[in-house]
Every structure is written in C-alpha cells, then in structure tokens.
Amino acid sequence: MKHLSTATLAIILGVLCSPNVANAYTTYTGTLTLNITASVVSNISTSTDISCTFNASVSGPSDNAEEDDTVTATRSGSTATCTLVIPYSWHLYDAAHDSVGLSYTISGFGNTNGRSTSNGIGSIPIPANGANHSYSVSGVRL
C-alpha cells in the first residue's frame, strides 16, 4: 500500500474542503464612473490640490474585491470637480448574492490646514457583465 506525502494529502484535503471548488467563478467586467462637484467652503488655499477617491467594494458570502480610483480635482473658483473611472474585472463565485458598496472621499490638505469628507453612495447588485454605470454627486461641501 502506498502512502501519500503530507504535502499531497494537504492539497487533496484543501481542494475537497474548499467551498468554491464546486462552483467555478465567473468574470464580471465593466466600468463604474463617478462625477463629483464640490463647493470649497473651508479655508483651503486655491493653490492646494484637492483629491477625489472613488471606491467600489464587492462583498458577499463567498466573494470580496476592492477597487479604487484617485484623481486630482479640477478647480474653478470655489468649485472642485472630479471624474473618476473604475474599469473592473472581478472573479466572482456567487454574484447573485453579492453586492457592490460605492463610496467617495474628497480632500484638500495644505501646509497649515486641510479638510476631508467621505460618504457612501449606496449599495448596488453586481452589474451585468460588460455594463457601464455612471453616478453623479453634487452638493458636496469641502
């Protein structure tokens, strides 16, 4: 009778006990776009860069994925605007039970002062494969 090595036995047990082995993953691709318009009402110098970050966080019983995009805002007077794009490719085992949480952060920090604000946009089901979704946020005060 042959004996299996410890490493071989560990691999076999790992494969048999893995919750995702029975279900092959499906790749979901697409694009999430966020447009932010913010009023700069705090004492942030006009020479201070303002940055925006868009976050998409997939969660569910078997899946987790995270995507971020960060850009420098375009400033005109007391208005800052950002367009953020997340081209994603997620390998998901159970997309029907997953969701995507969307959030953003906008911040400006100078040498002596700064401010940041973060907010959730909401939670959406996993978009259809190949989908392109756009969101807009206005009324943000920084």
pLDDT number for residue 92: 95
Distance CA 35, CA 141 (A): 15
Give SS3 for 57. strand
Dmax (CA) for the chain in angstroms is 81
| Strands lying side by side in the sheet with 64-72 | 64-72, 50-59, 99-109, 114-125
Range of the domain at 125: 23-141
pLDDT number for residue 15: 43
Nearest to 104 by CA among 36, 45, 42: 36
Q: How many domains does the chain have?
A: 1
Could you tell me the mean pLDDT of each successive run of 10 residues in the chain, 142 residues long? 46 46 83 97 87 97 94 95 97 95 94 88 95 96 92
Residue 13 covered by a domain: no
- The model's pTM is 0.81
Strand partners, 124: 100
Residue 18 covered by a domain: no
Residue 2 covered by a domain: no
Alpha-carbon Rg for the chain, nearest whole angstrom, is: 21
Residue 65 covered by a domain: yes
Residue 112 covered by a domain: yes
Residue 14 covered by a domain: no
- For residue 23, count CB atoms less than 10 angstroms from its CB and return exposed for 0-12, middle for 13-18, buried for 19 or more: exposed
